Amino acid sequence: MKYYPAIICKNGHVLSCTNSYQHQFCKTCGAEAVSRCESCGYIIEGYLLDSSILTSYYKKPYYCPKCGAPYPWTIKLIDNAVEIASLDTPLDEQSLAVIKNAIPYLITESIDTPVQAAKFANTINDLSDLARAAIKSLLFDYACNAAKSIIWG
């Protein structure tokens, strides 16, 4: 299958799914626009090139399908959640590692999602109300439904 290159800024704003965005930076946040994996150079897949029907829905990918590397917005999402947790009551390194390691399973549904979501929920219960609310605000739109139901009910 062949795809149009998608163009997405490093903060995760989808700029084009058909390679039609001609600017180097995002019009929403000013971040650099990318259309290829920074690890292997493979295109960020947009709409199917051969499809006669373009839908208005596009699900932004989190990982490169060729090399498995996380895209910049995925890295930023993980780093921001860990930073929020580390600003709160001092968490030990093991708790921060649980948060960091769980997020990839929260944003992409897999057989490990329920276990990682339970570990994540258990760990963030030790955070203040403010930190839990900030993490929910950061992750809620990105988390898969299975993770959401385990973590936030």
CA distance 124 to 99: 8
pLDDT at position 89 is 72
Rounded Cα gap, residues 72 and 84, in angstroms: 18
pLDDT tens for 25-83 read 999 999 999 999 999 999 999 988 776 665 667 889 999 999 999 999 999 999 999 99
Residue 28 · residue 16 · CB < 8 Å:
no
Q: What is the pTM of this model?
A: 0.87
> Which residue has 């895209």 as its token pair?
71
Cα 72 from Cα 49, distance rounded (Å) = 24
CA 11 to chain centre: 10
Give the model confidence (pLDDT) of 110-126 as tens digits: 999 999 999 999 999 98
The string of pLDDT tens digits covering residues 93-151 is: 999 999 999 999 999 999 999 999 999 999 999 899 999 999 999 999 999 999 999 99
What SS3 class is residue 25?
Answer: strand
Q: Supply φ then ψ for residue 111, to 5 degrees.
A: -65, -20
Cβ atoms < 10 Å from Cβ of 80: 15
